[in-house]
Protein backbone atom coordinates (compact mmCIF):
# COMPACT_ATOMS: atom_id res chain seq x y z
CA UNK A 1 0.00 0.00 0.00
CA UNK A 2 1.42 3.33 -1.02
CA UNK A 3 0.63 6.97 -0.61
CA UNK A 4 -0.63 8.76 -3.70
CA UNK A 5 0.43 12.39 -4.21
CA UNK A 6 -1.39 14.66 -6.65
CA UNK A 7 0.71 17.55 -7.88
CA UNK A 8 0.14 20.34 -10.38
CA UNK A 9 -0.81 23.93 -10.98
CA UNK A 10 -3.50 25.77 -9.01
CA UNK A 11 -6.99 24.62 -10.05
CA UNK A 12 -5.69 21.53 -11.83
CA UNK A 13 -8.11 19.52 -9.65
CA UNK A 14 -5.79 18.10 -6.99
CA UNK A 15 -8.21 18.67 -4.10
CA UNK A 16 -11.40 17.76 -5.98
CA UNK A 17 -10.06 14.58 -7.59
CA UNK A 18 -7.88 13.63 -4.61
CA UNK A 19 -10.90 13.41 -2.32
CA UNK A 20 -12.76 11.22 -4.81
CA UNK A 21 -9.79 8.88 -5.30
CA UNK A 22 -9.36 8.56 -1.53
CA UNK A 23 -13.05 7.76 -1.01
CA UNK A 24 -12.98 5.06 -3.69
CA UNK A 25 -9.81 3.42 -2.37
CA UNK A 26 -10.85 3.86 1.28
CA UNK A 27 -7.62 5.78 1.83
CA UNK A 28 -7.37 8.79 4.10
CA UNK A 29 -7.36 12.14 2.33
CA UNK A 30 -4.94 14.94 3.19
CA UNK A 31 -4.87 18.38 1.63
CA UNK A 32 -1.63 20.11 2.61
CA UNK A 33 -3.04 23.62 2.08
CA UNK A 34 -5.88 22.80 4.47
CA UNK A 35 -3.49 21.28 7.03
CA UNK A 36 -1.43 24.47 7.05
CA UNK A 37 -4.51 26.68 7.38
CA UNK A 38 -5.69 24.57 10.33
CA UNK A 39 -2.27 24.54 11.98
CA UNK A 40 -1.82 28.31 11.56
CA UNK A 41 -5.41 29.31 12.35
CA UNK A 42 -5.40 31.74 9.41
CA UNK A 43 -5.99 31.68 5.67
CA UNK A 44 -3.24 31.22 3.06
CA UNK A 45 -3.77 34.81 1.95
CA UNK A 46 -3.24 35.96 5.55
CA UNK A 47 -0.12 33.81 5.95
CA UNK A 48 1.40 35.30 2.78
CA UNK A 49 0.43 38.86 3.75
CA UNK A 50 1.49 38.70 7.39
CA UNK A 51 4.45 36.30 7.35
CA UNK A 52 5.58 36.14 3.72
CA UNK A 53 5.92 33.39 1.14
CA UNK A 54 9.14 31.95 2.59
CA UNK A 55 7.32 31.28 5.87
CA UNK A 56 4.52 29.50 3.97
CA UNK A 57 7.04 27.38 2.04
CA UNK A 58 8.70 26.36 5.30
CA UNK A 59 5.29 25.34 6.71
CA UNK A 60 4.75 23.25 3.55
CA UNK A 61 8.12 21.58 4.00
CA UNK A 62 7.31 20.71 7.62
CA UNK A 63 3.79 19.43 6.90
CA UNK A 64 5.06 17.26 4.03
CA UNK A 65 7.58 15.59 6.31
CA UNK A 66 4.85 14.42 8.68
CA UNK A 67 3.76 12.08 5.86
CA UNK A 68 5.50 8.72 6.03
CA UNK A 69 5.71 5.96 3.43
CA UNK A 70 2.92 3.39 3.36
CA UNK A 71 0.39 5.62 5.04
CA UNK A 72 -2.49 4.72 2.70
CA UNK A 73 -3.01 8.39 2.07
CA UNK A 74 -4.08 10.41 -0.91
CA UNK A 75 -2.28 13.73 -0.58
CA UNK A 76 -3.36 16.81 -2.50
CA UNK A 77 -0.38 19.12 -2.41
CA UNK A 78 -0.27 22.90 -2.64
CA UNK A 79 0.40 23.99 -6.23
CA UNK A 80 3.93 25.18 -5.48
CA UNK A 81 4.91 22.56 -2.92
CA UNK A 82 6.95 20.22 -5.16
CA UNK A 83 9.00 23.15 -6.45
CA UNK A 84 10.48 24.27 -3.13
CA UNK A 85 13.21 22.77 -0.95
CA UNK A 86 13.77 19.10 -1.82
CA UNK A 87 10.04 18.42 -1.59
CA UNK A 88 9.74 16.65 -4.96
CA UNK A 89 12.40 14.11 -3.98
CA UNK A 90 10.62 13.56 -0.66
CA UNK A 91 7.27 13.09 -2.45
CA UNK A 92 8.74 10.56 -4.88
CA UNK A 93 10.36 8.57 -2.09
CA UNK A 94 7.20 8.54 0.01
CA UNK A 95 4.59 7.46 -2.52
CA UNK A 96 3.43 7.49 -6.12
CA UNK A 97 3.24 10.97 -7.62
CA UNK A 98 0.71 12.01 -10.24
CA UNK A 99 1.12 15.26 -12.17
CA UNK A 100 -2.21 16.66 -13.36
CA UNK A 101 -1.03 18.55 -16.42
CA UNK A 102 -4.07 20.66 -17.26
CA UNK A 103 -3.72 23.27 -20.04
CA UNK A 104 -3.23 26.80 -18.76
CA UNK A 105 -6.30 28.03 -20.69
CA UNK A 106 -8.47 25.62 -18.70
CA UNK A 107 -6.85 26.75 -15.42
CA UNK A 108 -7.64 30.37 -16.29
CA UNK A 109 -11.28 29.47 -17.05
CA UNK A 110 -11.64 27.61 -13.75
CA UNK A 111 -10.02 30.31 -11.65
CA UNK A 112 -12.08 33.04 -13.33
CA UNK A 113 -15.31 31.06 -12.98
CA UNK A 114 -14.92 30.00 -9.36
CA UNK A 115 -12.79 32.77 -7.89
CA UNK A 116 -9.88 31.85 -5.62
CA UNK A 117 -9.87 34.46 -2.89
CA UNK A 118 -7.52 32.46 -0.71
CA UNK A 119 -4.89 31.89 -3.41
CA UNK A 120 -2.40 34.77 -3.27
CA UNK A 121 -0.44 33.61 -6.33
CA UNK A 122 -3.42 33.15 -8.61
CA UNK A 123 -5.79 35.98 -8.18
CA UNK A 124 -8.87 35.83 -10.42
CA UNK A 125 -8.97 39.64 -10.49
CA UNK A 126 -5.44 39.94 -11.89
CA UNK A 127 -5.73 41.11 -15.53
CA UNK A 128 -2.44 39.34 -16.21
CA UNK A 129 -3.61 36.04 -14.71
CA UNK A 130 -3.13 34.04 -17.94
CA UNK A 131 0.37 35.41 -18.46
CA UNK A 132 1.34 34.84 -14.83
CA UNK A 133 0.08 31.25 -14.90
CA UNK A 134 1.79 30.51 -18.21
CA UNK A 135 5.15 31.71 -16.90
CA UNK A 136 4.75 29.81 -13.64
CA UNK A 137 3.65 26.63 -15.47
CA UNK A 138 6.73 26.78 -17.68
CA UNK A 139 9.13 27.37 -14.82
CA UNK A 140 7.60 24.56 -12.76
CA UNK A 141 7.43 21.95 -15.52
CA UNK A 142 10.97 20.60 -14.94
CA UNK A 143 9.92 19.69 -11.40
CA UNK A 144 6.33 18.59 -12.06
CA UNK A 145 7.51 16.26 -14.83
CA UNK A 146 9.61 14.33 -12.32
CA UNK A 147 6.32 12.73 -11.25
CA UNK A 148 5.97 8.97 -11.66
CA UNK A 149 2.77 9.47 -13.66
CA UNK A 150 1.86 12.39 -15.92
CA UNK A 151 -1.74 12.85 -17.02
CA UNK A 152 -2.12 15.46 -19.74
CA UNK A 153 -5.37 17.33 -20.33
CA UNK A 154 -8.51 17.47 -18.20
CA UNK A 155 -8.78 14.21 -16.33
CA UNK A 156 -11.12 12.16 -14.20
CA UNK A 157 -10.97 10.15 -10.99
CA UNK A 158 -11.27 6.95 -13.06
CA UNK A 159 -8.24 7.80 -15.17
CA UNK A 160 -6.12 8.52 -12.09
CA UNK A 161 -7.16 5.19 -10.52
CA UNK A 162 -6.40 3.32 -13.71
CA UNK A 163 -2.96 4.90 -14.22
CA UNK A 164 -1.94 4.41 -10.58
CA UNK A 165 -3.15 0.79 -10.67
CA UNK A 166 -1.14 0.12 -13.80
CA UNK A 167 1.96 1.81 -12.36
CA UNK A 168 1.84 -0.22 -9.16
Ligand X SMILES: Nc1ncnc2c1ncn2[C@@H]1O[C@H](COP(=O)(O)OP(=O)(O)OP(=O)(O)O)[C@@H](O)[C@H]1O
Shortest spacing between CB 166 and ligand SKM, in angstroms: 27
**Is 163 known as a binding-site position?**
no
**Is 28 known as a binding-site position?**
no
**Is 140 known as a binding-site position?**
yes
Among 28, 68, 114, 128, the residue binding ligand X under the rule CB under 6 A is: 114
Q: What does each C-alpha distance from 133 to 25, 49, 55, 143 come to in angstroms?
A: 32, 20, 22, 16
Instruction: Tell me the window of 64-72, 113-121, 125-133, 143-151 that interacts with ligand SKM (CB under 6 A).
Output: 113-121
Please report whether residue 32 would count as binding ligand X according to CB under 6 A. Answer: no
Residues 118-157, one symbol each (x = binds ligand X by CB under 6 A, - = not), give -x----------------------------------x---
Please report whether residue 79 would count as binding ligand SKM according to CB under 6 A. Answer: yes
Side-chain half-sphere exposure of 107, counting CA atoms within 13 A = 25
Q: Which residue is nearest to ligand X (CB)?
A: 13
Q: Which residues bind ligand X (CB under 6 A)?
A: 10-17, 33, 76, 79, 110, 114, 116, 119, 154
Amino acid sequence: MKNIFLIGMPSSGKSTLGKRVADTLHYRFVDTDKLIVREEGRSIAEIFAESGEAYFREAERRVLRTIRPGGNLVVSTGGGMPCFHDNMAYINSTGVSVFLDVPVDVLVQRITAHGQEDRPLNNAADPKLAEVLRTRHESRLPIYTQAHIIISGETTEEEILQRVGKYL
